[in-house]
């Protein structure tokens, strides 16, 4: 009996193998559904297809949600460091987290130094600090009187339509938070950079050959307040008024005509000359000069000359031992009353008269780039 059952089972198994049947696939994988009055096959098929499509879309959305914020800190910092100022503004408008990163001083200091470092000095920083403090005071008083959105105030503050829309309005930045981050304590370099770019902020500097190279100011450098014109990539300058005269204005001042004041002396004050004992024939210098007592000083370029009793031979020259220093302005023609003047080495004060003007403090030029700048500005013909 047992032998019969074993033989039958083996025969049945061999028979099934000979049929080459396909493996049974569940209906939910074959898109085939058993008939049911509650689950019509077409409806179920559409439902499952929709479910599968949603699953695929969800998977794709999950992939899209991988953002720049998911990058390692070092990689993200490297990306932000390579962005231009406009790029930082655009990136900062994406979300609050990127905004906080994109206003970082470490990012904007590089842009500020690269473009503006050559024309900004301590006086410019003090002017910026005063500017921000005055605006902050206005802002605080206005916010107490009437609650306003920062997008409205920023239009008054910088008048940047693009900056306003991208960086403030889109992010609903709280007015007080922004003041704390960028204006209070003058610790936001981005605000300074954008104020300079807007042309709304005037900063102190000095301008070579003022008033478009007027012949009366050749090889001179005068204090002025400058504002940037982004349309022409030049500056507008307004000079210290002369007596009762109106403020002199000049537009189109090129970058190479602007410098940081080398001294902290006001254009109304006499500079203390601390180099007189070091001056030798051939040394380059700048000296204060003004037309009369009501005028501010400008700085004029010259070269130390030899005394009339000296033939210029270096082996026998004793000019450096004399109390008299010869100041030569070789841009003027020989015989011109502006060609040469003399000052005392031991007791130099403001010297001059109403006819020839007044000579003030002297500073010796040690840097080759300063001397090269003056030579680059040298007039094509001698002045009278």
Q: Measured at the alpha carbon of residue 105, what is the angle toward residues 100 and 108, in degrees to the nearest 5?
A: 100
**How would residue 45 be classed by pLDDT, with cut points 50, 70 and 90?**
very low
pTM as predicted:
0.72
- The whole-number average pLDDT for the span 28-41 is 40
Q: Report which of residues 169 and 361 the model is more confident about.
A: 361
219 token code pair: 């090889």
Beta bridge partners of 332: 383
Q: What is the pLDDT of residue 160?
A: 39
**How would residue 11 be classed by pLDDT, with cut points 50, 70 and 90?**
low
The values of phi and psi at residue 207, to 5°, are -125, 130
The predicted-structure confidence for 123-146, as pLDDT tens digits, reads as follows 999 999 998 888 776 556 655 555
Residue 373, CA atoms < 13 Å, CB-side half-sphere:
20
Instruction: Judge whether residue 246 has pLDDT over 90.
Output: no
- The whole-number average pLDDT for the span 258-266 is 95
Beta bridge partners of 258: 207
Contacts for 77-84 with beta carbons within 8 Å, 24 or more apart? 80/104, 80/107, 81/107, 81/110, 83/107, 84/111
The predicted-structure confidence for 76-115, as pLDDT tens digits, reads as follows 888 899 999 999 999 888 888 888 889 999 999 999 999 9
Contacts of 235 (CB under 8 A, 6+ apart): 226, 227, 228, 229, 253, 254, 255, 258
Calpha distance 53→55 (Å, rounded): 5
282 token code pair: 């051939």
| DSSP per-residue string spanning 51-70 | HHHHHHHHHHHHHHT--GGG
Q: Measured at the alpha carbon of residue 374, what is the angle toward residues 369 and 376, in degrees to the nearest 5?
A: 90
Q: What is the pLDDT of residue 185?
A: 42
């Amino acid at each position: 009996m047992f032998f019969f059952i074993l033989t039958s089972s083996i025969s049945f198994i061999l028979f099934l193998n000979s049929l080459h049947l396909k493996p049974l696939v569940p209906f939910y994988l074959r898109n085939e559904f058993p008939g049911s009055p509650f689950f019509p096959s077409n409806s179920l098929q559409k439902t499952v297809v929709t479910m599968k499509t949603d699953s695929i879309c969800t998977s794709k959305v999950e992939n899209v949600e991988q953002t720049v914020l998911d990058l390692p800190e070092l990689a993200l910092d490297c990306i932000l460091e390579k962005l231009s100022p406009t790029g930082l503004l655009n990136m900062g408008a994406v979300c609050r987290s990127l905004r906080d990163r994109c206003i970082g001083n470490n990012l904007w200091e590089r842009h500020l130094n690269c473009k503006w470092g050559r024309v900004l000095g301590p006086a410019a920083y003090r002017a910026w600090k005063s500017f921000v403090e005055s605006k902050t005071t206005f802002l605080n008083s206005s916010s107490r009187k009437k609650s306003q959105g920062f997008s409205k105030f920023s239009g008054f503050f910088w008048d940047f339509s693009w900056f306003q829309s991208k960086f403030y309005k889109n992010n609903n930045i709280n007015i007080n938070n922004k003041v704390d981050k960028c204006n209070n304590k003058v610790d936001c370099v981005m605000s300074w950079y954008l104020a300079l770019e807007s042309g709304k902020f005037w900063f102190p500097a000095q301008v070579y050959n003022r008033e478009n190279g007027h012949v009366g100011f050749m090889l001179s450098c005068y204090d002025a307040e400058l504002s940037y014109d982004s349309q022409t990539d030049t500056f507008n300058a307004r000079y210290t008024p002369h007596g009762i005269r109106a403020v002199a204005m000049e537009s189109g001042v090129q970058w190479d005509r602007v410098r940081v004041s080398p001294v902290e002396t006001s254009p109304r004050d006499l500079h203390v000359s601390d180099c007189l004992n070091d001056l030798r024939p051939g040394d380059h210098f700048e000296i204060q000069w003004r037309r009369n007592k009501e005028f501010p000083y400008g700085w004029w370029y010259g070269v130390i000359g030899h005394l009339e009793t000296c033939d210029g031979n270096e082996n026998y020259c004793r000019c450096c031992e004399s109390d008299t220093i010869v100041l030569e302005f070789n841009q003027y023609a020989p015989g011109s009353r502006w060609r040469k003047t003399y000052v005392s080495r031991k007791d130099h004060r403001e010297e001059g008269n109403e006819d020839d003007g007044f000579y003030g403090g002297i500073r010796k030029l040690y840097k080759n780039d300063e001397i090269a700048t003056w030579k680059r500005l040298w007039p094509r013909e001698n002045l009278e």
